[in-house]
Chain A
Amino acid sequence: MKIDKNTINKIARLSRIKLDDKESEDYINDLNSILDWVEQLNEVNTENVEPLSNISSSILPKREDVSNDSNSSEEILENAPDKLEGFFAVPKVVE
């Protein structure tokens, strides 16, 4: 797999990151060298080997269904750049 200009632009847009031409060029080179390095793994025969989803062998910890009733609104909105009557206020988004 090779990263080209189109791919880098797509990844940048999906990540909401703005890249100028110089930066795109740098990222194309960086990502390609990373991919080349990872591609060495293709030399290993992985037929009939289940993909490893996690390196830890422990079991997913679970919680009981208990709710805490503390009112969070003041704390949660503390860092909001803009708010109104308990709501976050953001630039208008309508689909």
Chain B
Amino acid sequence: MNNLIKGEKHDWEMVIGLEIHAQVKSNSKLFSSSSTKFGSSPNSQVSLVDAAMPGMLPVINKYCVEQAVKTGVGLNAKINNYSVFDRKNYFYADLPQGYQISQYKYPIVGEGKVTIDFKDGTSKDIRIVRLHLEQDAGKSLHDQNPSKTYVDLNRSGVALMEIVSEPDIRTPDEAGMYISKIRSILMYLDTCDGNMQEGSLRADVNISVRKPGDEYGTRCEIKNLNSIKFIKQAINYEAKRQIEILESGGFIEQNTMLFNTSTGKTRPMRNKEEAHDYRYFPDPDLLPLEISKEEIGKIKSSIPELPDELKNKFIETFKLSNYDASVLTAEKQTSDYFNETINSDPELKNHAKIVVNWITSELFSLLNKNNQDLNNSPVSPENLGQLIKLISTNEISGKIAKDVLEDMFSSGKTPRQIVDEKGLQQVTDQDEIAKVIDEVIAENPKMVEQYLAGKDKLLGFFVGQAMKFTKGKANPKMLNDILKQKLNKKN
């Protein structure tokens, strides 16, 4: 794969690292008992702690700590027995405390890695630097009034996991695959709902460019991107911007950028003189967080099968390709659906590849077309399994099966019902097929002549005619064989 961008004098390589903010799935906030529910009326879920009333003290949510540890295990990372909460100081209207409680020097989770899989069968590891727990800020609405900003503190104090990667990413696509993979792991673990529209998962992107082999260039950080599409767009735009500056003899200023989703452009968020100075220091309201080996062991043993394990299991058990298995395991609902389908009939285990294809191409495209989700698919795994069995036992052809699937999708009927009602059983009777072919040959003497004179392409014509006679129900392989036999006999 070529990861380079063509430049005037030499090619350029992108160097990308991501900071992902994932909202912890929990009932209450990190340091208060307010609800974390999304979409409630403004300021209805704000305790005195979240509003930073004087004298209020934070008390940590045990479950949020467990969720962070669980996620660390899912990222193949080191869990730290000892971590510390620090104050990150800055003034902003949606941060009532004047500081965010975060973890700086001693995060709860250390180095880890995740693997991304490419279409060509290769894969790549992206290293994780750390994961730490911190508070989310409130939400500001800037565009409602020309002179006012409106503030809703419902999100203030919700637990976030910040997952920081090494700058191991080299293309916008890799960045997209990396965040998809993280999202998938979080959703299998049930530690984050992964909802990017609602902001449960968002990312800051660090990007620089360099001549391949050179040292890292100066980087810029693009803040707060909440869709994979925007992440890719922002990276492409920012890389182009940096290359243009460098090629015209300029240099890159380290800066924090905002991405405008309607123009597709990045712009600096603040200038250098205003650069933040966060003055981190340990929060005197909170003791260090200590987790025993036993607690970590207990959490580890509660972890469900993760996408990579499941992927390897699928490859081994069903002899699937690495890519097929990774597509199948990217989302939990897909691997669940596959499992249910293939386990609905013992015969299907021998046709795993066909099952994958019917789920990931035929069923997915129908779901897409109808704007539906696999979770509420009108076609049940059992019924899809039955359809595939009809194909594998030669009762219907693959082509007819596509029509049957569409019918199943809209009517909710079983494939057996549809095949019986419409009389779609494949014709596998030698004599019957031979009879049809005889007719076709008799009706098209000129074509037969041309075919025998060497116009091989005409074979398709005869197949088409014979299929038409049988309304597409003739077994294609038998039809082909008998047709060739009969035509060649004429010679």
Contact = CB atoms under 8 A, between A and B. Distances in A.
A94 B271 CA distance: 14
Interface stretch (A26-34, A36-44, A51-59): A51-59
Interface in A40-95: 53-54, 56, 58-69, 71-73, 76-77, 82, 84-95
B137 interface: no
B140 A93 contact: yes
Interface residues on B, range: 35 or more
Contacts of B93: 88, 90, 93
A67 B33 contact: yes
Majority SS at the chain B contact face: loop
Contacts of A71: 41, 44
Contacts of A72: 34, 43-47
Query: B61, B84, B279: which has the most chain A beta carbons within 10 Å?
Result: B61
A67 B431 CA distance: 73
Chain A contact residues: helix, strand, loop or mixed: loop
B34 A67 contact: yes
Contact of A67 (B27, B60, B147, B152): B27
Interface in B122-162: 140-142, 145-153
A1 interface: no
B43 A88 contact: yes
Contacts of A69: 35
A18 interface: no
B42 A54 contact: no
Contacts of A86: 41-44, 152
A14 B41 CA distance: 33
Contacts of B258: 95
Contact of A87 (B151, B277, B282): B151
B43 A93 contact: no
Contacts of A54: 282, 284, 287-288
B54 to A, nearest CB: 11
The 6 nearest A-B residue pairs measured at CB: A65-B63, A87-B150, A67-B28, A86-B42, A62-B62, A88-B151
6 contacts: A14-B89, A67-B34, A73-B44, A88-B152, A89-B145, A91-B147
Given A14-B277, A58-B287, A90-B148, 9 more contacts: A56-B287, A62-B62, A65-B64, A71-B44, A72-B34, A82-B148, A86-B43, A92-B145, A94-B149
Interface of B: 26-28, 33-36, 41-47, 51, 59-65, 84, 89, 91-93, 140-142, 145-153, 258, 269-270, 277, 279, 282, 284, 286-290
